[in-house]
Amino acid sequence: MHVVPLGGLGEIGKNMTAVHQRSGMVLVDAGLAFPDEEMPGIDLVLPDFTYLREHAERLRGILLTHGHEDHVGAIPYLLREFRTPVYGTRLTLGLVKSKLEEFGIRNADLREVSAGEKFSFGGFNVEFVNVNHSIPGAVAVALRTSVGLFVFSGDYKVDLTPIEGEPIDLGRMAALGEEGVLAYFGDSTNSERPGYVPSERVVGETLNEVFRSVQGRIIVASFASHIHRIQQVVEAAKQHDRLVAVTGRSMVRNVQIARELGYLDLPDAMMVDQRDIARIPDQDLVVLTTGSQGEPLAALSRIASGTHRTIEVGPEDAVVIAAHPIPGNERGVSRTINNLMRRGAQVFYSPLRPVHVSGHAAQEEQKLMLSLLKPRYLVPVHGEFRHLMHHAFTARALGIPEERIFVLENGARLEFRSNGEARRIENVPSGMFVVDGGGLADTSGAVMRERQQLAEEGMFIVIARIDSQTGALVGEPDVISRGFVDPQAANGLVEGSIEVVSRTLRRTASRKITDWGQLKNEIRRDLTSFLAERTNKRPMILPLIVEV
Amino acid sequence: MHVVPLGGLGEIGKNMTAVHQRSGMVLVDAGLAFPDEEMPGIDLVLPDFTYLREHAERLRGILLTHGHEDHVGAIPYLLREFRTPVYGTRLTLGLVKSKLEEFGIRNADLREVSAGEKFSFGGFNVEFVNVNHSIPGAVAVALRTSVGLFVFSGDYKVDLTPIEGEPIDLGRMAALGEEGVLAYFGDSTNSERPGYVPSERVVGETLNEVFRSVQGRIIVASFASHIHRIQQVVEAAKQHDRLVAVTGRSMVRNVQIARELGYLDLPDAMMVDQRDIARIPDQDLVVLTTGSQGEPLAALSRIASGTHRTIEVGPEDAVVIAAHPIPGNERGVSRTINNLMRRGAQVFYSPLRPVHVSGHAAQEEQKLMLSLLKPRYLVPVHGEFRHLMHHAFTARALGIPEERIFVLENGARLEFRSNGEARRIENVPSGMFVVDGGGLADTSGAVMRERQQLAEEGMFIVIARIDSQTGALVGEPDVISRGFVDPQAANGLVEGSIEVVSRTLRRTASRKITDWGQLKNEIRRDLTSFLAERTNKRPMILPLIVEV
């Protein structure tokens, strides 16, 4: 039997692992990732589906550990191609359902399972085990296969005083350890962090302090899926007699789903419609909003830049950014903080104030899990390579020998035998799919490279009318540039370019060249060196030849 | 008399402040900034020179606090326009000189001054006061003007056990405080950080541990200007019998300058030429390199990705990244760490190991300076708005009243009167200049916006041959795209676009439209909605009309 991580290894996001035995194949999670600065214009990134397509008829189901985009975001794209049941807890499926509706997918086979329940399908026996995380309804997956027991932690932390629900089921983890875990696929996100991650309750204490001290309006930005944090804001509002307004598309949607499914206790009487905000005195209001990552179009950024339709912020007001910037978002978050402060607002943010705690286990929690589960093999998952390595270092400090720890990359394939031996065999395809605009998904590196050149150097277009018989230039060539250099500042650049192209075409005509490909190459070459010398830039040069 | 901060406020970098009294004008520092992700293709960013140009004949000199790019990088651009003396300490001017040589500027009037010296020019009396920072030869500037004494901290920290030179001259600061400081322009970079920044010596202890434990080659990446840190690497190498190789253009240059000027003690006998690295056994070598910020083209990134010409790294080797990522560089640094670990190297980095300490004062150091200088006014400088604000909070906690603290933005103008009163008067122009390619400097926002659109949406070009008499289309239009969507993946998009443009032109011809501007607008409009509907993207559309 084979286990194939198809995403989430050596990178953040798009977590997905295939477990493939004789009786069929199951996926654990199916997430997406957000593009980095090297993928201009890309909306989102999906795992490579090639392996799934090759074995499509063997897919028996998808198991979801929790409702975050990096674990469930690929579901609509998967279900467009593959028909298979999806198993998850109530909130997880609630979020997936809302996503599927956006995509117009109505016939999905969603099967709700609670933590503690066992169920079987396709030759697998599955058990969901409760864990704590920054979203309710998070579970680990215990998967009994033909060769042994696998445990996937999903994203987890150990919170013995959770806001809602039960603490992580350490007893069940211990029992699984006694039963014998063949391989453990453990969350590595925080494996560089020593100690324990504090309980979510810490944030509630800070919120209470803020609510006690602030006279004006309070705005709290958080991840829209962080229902526990939202609950704590509601509790603070209740205690300090403030009403709650919710803004930001995903925040409005998630609050609604969580209320409907009973995960969020927010009475109607406490809620204010966005449009009525202006009517509520500042000291009686808290606004829950998106934008904790400094996303330019999110509500908080618009409030900060003074372009929000209904919400303003001023000197008596306070803003709590109840989240940590995800790597890559630091500048955007900082810009938001600066702009809010320019408006005179007090801004509370991490790490200056404890307004955020992580949802991922730190080293001591990782040790606890490894000690309870006592796995024969460890596969660190969810994280960049450095995080996987540090999870491995922690495991080795606990005495797990190096040869039983597999630090892998996406597409690596592990073979497990019935005698309990595991080894790496040849990889499967593991590129990525990008979603660029609505429905189109492609992996074309060429388009990305073109965009990068266009972004950094701009474009320079030459239109030359050529006598199709003689190859001679007719009239003067035209040049047009976009994103290159400011034409005003570029002294004589247009005239110089026309001169260069004319000279090139006189030369090619005298050599009787009528092969347009060759003409274009010569124009490109001559113009590249002229422009590089004059501007130190190398725009994309596009010679267009019009036969007359 | 007026003080005008022209850069460095509400942003990182390009620090420059003009002090303008009846007798003339002096600049304190003249730095550059590096572009952020919203300025694709831009090489660097300079302060706005408009105010300087308006008062060019009054410029009496430039005072440099230290040799970092964000304080001296604009000097070559300034000296191309303005002829004025430049005052600085030996290393500062050594670095400036090397920069000027690159620009072919040979006749600069560089005047070396030591910490503790007083000098006068243009009606100003100046004193350089020794401070500690992450580069030798850093000073604060005490500037006696017609209305009173101004103190500019430059970048500073309090290091009572510095690696080289003297601790910050707290005695002199106290004496200035007794004399009476009218306004203090203080470094705010670390004003969000409580406590004290540790001494640079802490890093030496970590380096010693690393050198003790590692068997293979050791590679240390650092800022090229951090001569103290480089000295500590040399000391560790000496103690553990390793030779030192230096790689990376700026590292090679700065090591050479610092050795020539006596700031770095690195004997010839310890140095290995880059080309001889392969001949030195791994355990006898340490490589000093650039790339601590994950810059894709720097030596460390190339070592990490296996593309460096002479240096490889493997399982027995260790890499120390002796720097903290500057905001915006986190992903690049992380990529470098991941790649080095993929090669099996041990990687030591902050904050996991104390291989870096900041060069900027934290809150307790800021309190110390404020207490010694007892300024009438505080102007927090060097930092984003949030940092300026936190410096102000600290000052208010020390009892400086709010109305004596000026949190400003670039281009704000403070007027000081001889009675010691200060107030804000109208701003001066304070955009920025960008350097885009070699010599061209412009501020064109249009070019930046074009690049962003090209980067995210790509370009779509239509070439239509039009009968100049009738306005009718001749033949079929051609379409070409770059950076848009993968043509293979875009089912029928080319044919559809040709169809849309043909239809548009039939319509315009039937309406006898021969105004090409209008033709182009109609093509652009029809094609935009067609492409947006089919691909959800809005490429830049460039209709080209060729008269036949």
- List the domain boundaries for chain B: 2-34+42-195+358-435, 209-348, 446-547
* Cβ count within 10 A of residue A174: 14
Residues of chain B positioned with their CB less than 8 A from the CB of A528: none
Contacts of B439 in chain A (CB under 8 A): 536
CATH of domain B209-348: 3.40.50.10710
Structural contact between residues A237 and A288, judged by C-beta atoms closer than 8 angstroms:
no
**Is B187 a residue of the active site?**
yes
Q: CA of B452: which chain A residue's CA is closest? A: A455
Per-position b or e across B5-44, b if 16+ CB within 10 A of its CB: bbbbbbbbbbbbbbbbbeebbbbbbbbbbbbeeebbbbbb
Higher pLDDT, A20 or B536: A20
Mark whether B360 is an active-site residue.
yes
Range with top average pLDDT, A31-40, A144-153, A443-452:
A144-153
pLDDT bin (cut points 50, 70, 90) of residue B150 is very high
Residue B490 at interface with chain A, using a CB cutoff of 8 Å: yes
Sign of the four-CA dihedral A521, A526, A528, A531: negative
At the second CATH level, the architecture of B446-547 is Roll (3.10)
- Judged against a pLDDT cut of 70, whether residue B443 lies above it is answered with no
A 185-214 residues with CB < 8 A to B: 192
Q: Do A463 and B544 touch (CB under 8 A)?
A: yes
Contact B459 A463 (CB under 8 A): no
**What are A103-152's pLDDT values in tens digits?**
999 999 999 999 999 999 999 999 999 999 999 999 999 999 999 999 99
Do residues A16 and A27 lie in contact, with contact meaning Cβ atoms separated by under 8 Å?
Answer: yes
Q: How sure is the predictor about A536, in pLDDT bands with cuts at 50, 70 and 90?
A: confident
- Cβ of residue B425 closer than 8 Å to a chain A Cβ: no
pLDDT confidence tier of residue A18, bands split at 50, 70 and 90: very high
Backbone conformation region of residue B524, classed left if phi is above 0, alpha if psi is from -120 to 50, else beta:
alpha
For residue A223, the model assigns a pLDDT of: 96
Mean pLDDT for chain B?
93
* Average pLDDT score over residue span B258-283: 95
Answer yes or no: do A386 and B459 touch at CB < 8 A: no
Q: Which residue type does B138 have?
A: A
Binding residues of A are 41, 43, 66, 68, 70-71, 133, 155, 224-226, 356-360, 382, 436
Q: Do B455 and A457 touch (CB under 8 A)?
A: no
Measured between CA atoms, the residue of chain A closest to residue B328 is: A331
**CB contact B331 to A (< 8 Å):** yes
Please, what CATH class does the domain formed by B2-34+42-195+358-435 belong to? alpha beta
Residues of A in contact with B452 (CB under 8 A): 455
Q: Convert the pLDDT of each residue in A164-190 to its tens digit.
A: 999 999 999 999 999 999 999 999 999
Q: What is the pLDDT of residues A469-501, one digit of tens each?
A: 888 888 889 888 888 877 666 678 888 899 999
Eight-state DSSP code of residue A270: G
Contact A458 B450 (CB under 8 A): yes
Q: Strand B377-381 and strand B183-187: pairing? A: parallel
DSSP A325: P
**For B485, which of A440, A478, A489 is closest by C-beta distance?**
A440
**Polymer length in residues for chain A:** 548
Q: Average pLDDT, stretch A244-256?
A: 96
Residues of B in contact with A396 (CB under 8 A): none
Q: Which residues of B are less than 8 Å from A484 in CB distance?
A: 447
Closest chain A C-alpha to B127 CA, distance in angstroms: 34
Residue of B nearest to A532 (CA): B437
Q: Does residue B384 sit at the A interface (CB-CB below 8 Å)?
A: yes
Which residue is it, tokens 């039963």?
A: A179
Task: List the alpha helices (DSSP H) in B14-128.
Answer: 50-54, 69-72, 75-81, 90-102
Handedness of CA A244, A249, A254, A259 (dihedral sign): positive
Does residue B355 contact residue A407 with C-beta atoms inside 8 Å?
Answer: no
Contacts of A333 in chain B (CB under 8 A): none
- For the cut 60, the answer to whether the pLDDT of residue B438 exceeds it is no
- The overall average pLDDT reported for chain A is 93
- pLDDT single digits (tens) B227-270: 999 999 999 999 999 999 999 999 999 999 999 999 999 999 99
Say whether A147 sits in a helix, a strand or coil.
coil
Sheet holding A110-112, edge to edge: A110-112, A86-88, A59-63, A24-28, A16-21, A2-7, A413-416, A422-425
Average pLDDT over residues B90-95: 97
Quick check: A338 and B386 CB within 8 A? yes
Radius of gyration of chain A (CA): 28
User: Which one of B41, B334, B453 has the shortest CB-CB distance to A457?
Assistant: B41
Chain A hits for B490, CB-CB cut-off 8 Å, are 440
Does the pLDDT value for residue B148 go beyond 70? yes
Which 3 state secondary structure label does DSSP give B230? helix
Q: What residues of chain A, 226 to 285, have a C-beta less than 8 Å from chain B?
A: none
Active site residues of A: 187, 360
- Which of A31-35, B154-158, B492-496 has the weakest average pLDDT? B492-496
Asked whether residue B458 is marked as a ligand-binding residue, the answer is: no
| Mean pLDDT, residues B306-326 | 95
Q: Mind telling me how many Å the CA of B319 is from chain A's nearest CA?
A: 13
CB contact under 8 A, B459 and A456: no
* Model pLDDT, residue B440: 47
Query: Can you read off the two tokens belonging to residue A136?
Result: 């309710």
pLDDT digits (tens, 9 = 90+) for A397-431: 999 999 999 999 999 999 999 999 999 999 998 87
